[in-house]
Structures are given as C-alpha cells and as structure tokens.
Amino acid sequence: MKAGAKYWAALFLVILLFFLSSSPLKSSFSQDSSITAQARCIPQIQDTEKNNPSTLETGAWLRWQHSPVISVTGISGEWDAAGMAAKSCVRNGDLFHLFYQGDSGTGGSGSLLIGKATSIDLVNWTKCEKPLFSVGTPGSWDSYFVGMPSVIMVDSIWYLFYEGNDGNHSNIGLALSTDGLDFRRIKNGIDGTAVVLPIGPPGSWDDNNLGTPTIVRTRPGDPYRFALYYTAQDAATLTVRTGVAFSNDLISWVKEKDNPILDNGEPGEWDGGDVTASDVLIDADGHYTMLYCATGKYWGIGIARSSDGVYWEKHPQNPVLIGSGTGFDAENVQLPLCPVTGRILYSGAGSLYQIGLCSINPDDVIAKNRDLPTYTELNR
C-alpha cells in the first residue's frame, strides 16, 4: 500500500509543536561492584546565540547551525574522546536525559562505554564526567564493551537496555536505577545474568550479533505493554536488519515470529546495507513512526510508518537526512531521536562522531498542509 500524502505530511508535524510552545514494575537490583555511580557532571559552554531560530538554515529538515550540541574533546585518555553516539533521550520533568555510547579510541576491552548528559533545552548540555558503568568481569557476556543504551522510566525506576559484547557476540542486557545515575545489572535474566534478549539459534537471522535496542511503550489494549526494537546480524551473510520483541514486565521477551520487520533495500540503494531502528513514536491515533538509519554508499536517516508496529512501509522520499558535505556531519548521519515535538537529535561524523540537532521548518509544513492534525503527545 502506498503511503498517503496526508499521513506523511502529518508525520513531519511530529517535530513541529516545539516551535509553537515555550521552550519516561517490579525492580530487581544486583550488587554489581563493577558499576559505580558518577554524579559529578561538567557543564558544556553556554551559548545563548544557539537559541535564536534565525540561525537555522533554510529547508524542510533544518540543521542547527551551531551543531554539534555535544562535542568530543579529542583528548587522549578521556573515555569518550574519539566519538559519541546518541541513543536514548528521556524527559523527566523539565530535564532531558540523554544516554549515549562513548568511544575512547583505544580499541580493545572497555573502549566503548555508556555515558549521560542533561539539558533543559536540547541545546546547552551538562555532560557527566565518567561513564555510568563499566564492562563486565572477565569472561562475562559483556566483558568487551557496553553501549547503545535505550532507557525508559516505569514507576520511578529507570530501565536501561544496552548492547553487551564478550569479544565474539553481542546480546541485549538490562540495568536498573532509582536515580538515573547509579545503575545495577539485573541478576534474574537468562541463565542468571543481565541478558534479557539473546542471539537466536544457529541458522536464524539473528544468530551472530544482537543489539542497538530501542524500548517503546505500546498502545493501550495491545497484547503486550512494551516493544523492544533491535538490530541483529546473521552469521552466514553478516546482513544487519531490524527486528522486534514484546514483553509485559521488561524482563521476559517474546521475539516477533515475522522478524526481521525492517529489511535492507535493494543493492545500490541508500539503505542497501545495514538497517537500524533508532527511535519509534506512537501518535494519538495509534500510528507508529520509526526513525531509522541505514547505509548503502553512506549512512543516512529515513522514516517508516506502521499501523501495528510490526509491518512497516518506508517513506518514498527517503533518505530524509544525509551528510552535509561540510562541518561535523560531513559524511554520515545516524541514530535519530525525537525526544519532544520540534527537535531531533542525531549522531553525525566527518572524522569523529558527535551529537547534532535538527528541526523541521514550520513554514514549509503549514503552508502546504494547513488542515493536517498535530501530534500532542509521544509515547514516552
């Protein structure tokens, strides 16, 4: 079924309302001594000029001219000196909490870790000095790296899903926190570990690596309360695609029988290589919108639609954002997040991955589609 023009135009209004207004169970904590709380944070330089909409370039998808909004220092020895990949942004009260993967550039065990930054406006950020937790003990399932965090708040508990790797395979694990800083791995996952979603059996589409989680609340009345979108790779062809699993308690998960639910494009197309879900939104009418990134000749950003969160239709005008050709995101853009209507955070790279911000030009949307509905709430 071809996408209707009205739906796709309404989709762009998911990120409009910010312009029109001012300005996320039962817990089971381990006592993992390898995880230490790092409450000390360092503010980024405040730049009031960044808040001036006149500094935005023209066009439908607008890059914030002062991006990156969170930068790497490039200083040897810092845990995120060589790259930052935004993966999850949770709004709690007036504060945005961004969870990201940091790269030290050193290679080897512990070179990829999970960090956090906070902001009241998505422009000026306070970055925590140290990672939220370390890799697991030698020989454990996440002893090589931890990364790609996706976070949801339920009953005042922070649930952090992450990709862990032992040097051979990646799986998805879970850590919990009561304050958003001190995270503890659960101990009641698969085989008494923190793993909640493992790779599949030999010969399956996800039998080699499984990670890059995206946690979502489903619609009221759906069979399951939560959906976990993830990226997986098969051992035979090393093809990377997107699947989904469902749960009612955030610990026990059932993989969708029709996985993968978002496949690669044709060879030579912009998404002919890896295809990775990054954020999934549900509007007031129950329609699903996926922001995803893919690579063919380059990493770019696309959007897809679904009526049930399982069967998806890619936007006919994808990609909606590619590398700028100049600046911090000259070559690649990845991992889009929509934490609030009006803004999208993403990871961009020329040489090093850093975190940028973009928006939709409201004049372009309103002038062409004055009768379209607006999105009032996202599934946070």
- State the Cα–Cα distance between residues 301 and 321, nearest whole angstrom: 5
More confident residue, 47 or 116: 116
Q: Do β-strands 170-177 and 226-233 pair in parallel, antiparallel, or remain unpaired?
A: unpaired
Confidence of residue 360 (pLDDT cuts 50, 70, 90): low
pTM of the full predicted structure?
A: 0.82
Average pLDDT over residues 352-372: 59
More confident residue, 332 or 54: 332
Cβ burial, residue 203 (10 Å; 0-12/13-18/19+): exposed
Per-residue pLDDT at 377: 34
- State the Cα–Cα distance between residues 117 and 124, nearest whole angstrom: 10
Sign of CA dihedral 254, 151, 85, 346: positive
pLDDT at residue 22 greater than cutoff 60: no
Confidence of residue 59 (pLDDT cuts 50, 70, 90): very low
Tokens 């039962």 sit at which residue?
Answer: 26
* pLDDT above 70: percentage of residues in the chain: 78
Q: Which of 99, 96, 141 lies closest to 116, judged by CA?
A: 99
- Which amino acid is located at 277 in the chain? A
- State the Cα–Cα distance between residues 195 and 170, nearest whole angstrom: 10
pLDDT at residue 57 greater than cutoff 70: no
Are 78 and 221 within 8 A, CB to CB?
no
Per-residue pLDDT at 275: 96
| pLDDT tens track for 175-221 | 999 999 999 999 999 999 999 999 999 999 999 999 999 999 999 99
Contacts of 253 by beta carbon, 8 Å cutoff, 6+ apart: 196, 197, 228, 245, 246, 247
Find residue 340's DSSP bridge partners. Answer: 343
- State the Cα–Cα distance between residues 201 and 217, nearest whole angstrom: 27
Q: Which of 181, 182, 289, 186 lies closest to 229, judged by CA?
A: 289
More confident residue, 327 or 25: 327
DSSP 291: E
Confidence of residue 38 (pLDDT cuts 50, 70, 90): very low
pLDDT at residue 58 greater than cutoff 50: no
| pLDDT tens track for 137-147 | 999 999 999 99
Cβ burial, residue 110 (10 Å; 0-12/13-18/19+): middle
The alpha carbon of residue 77 and the mean position of all alpha carbons in its chain are separated, in whole angstroms, by: 26
Per-residue pLDDT at 20: 32
- Backbone Cα Rg of the chain: 19
Per-residue pLDDT at 60: 61
Tokens 């405040």 sit at which residue?
Answer: 46
Q: Which helix (H) or strand (E) holds 8?
A: helix 5-12
More confident residue, 196 or 374: 196
Mean pLDDT score of the chain, rounded to an integer?
Answer: 81
Superfamily of segment(s) 5-23+29-45+56-368: Glycosyl hydrolase domain; family 43 (2.115.10.20)
**Residue 331: CB atoms within 10 Å:** 15
| pLDDT tens track for 63-116 | 888 899 999 877 888 899 999 999 999 999 889 999 999 999 888 888 999 999
Domain boundaries, the chain: 5-23+29-45+56-368
Least confident of 199-203, 306-310, 316-320, 350-354: 316-320
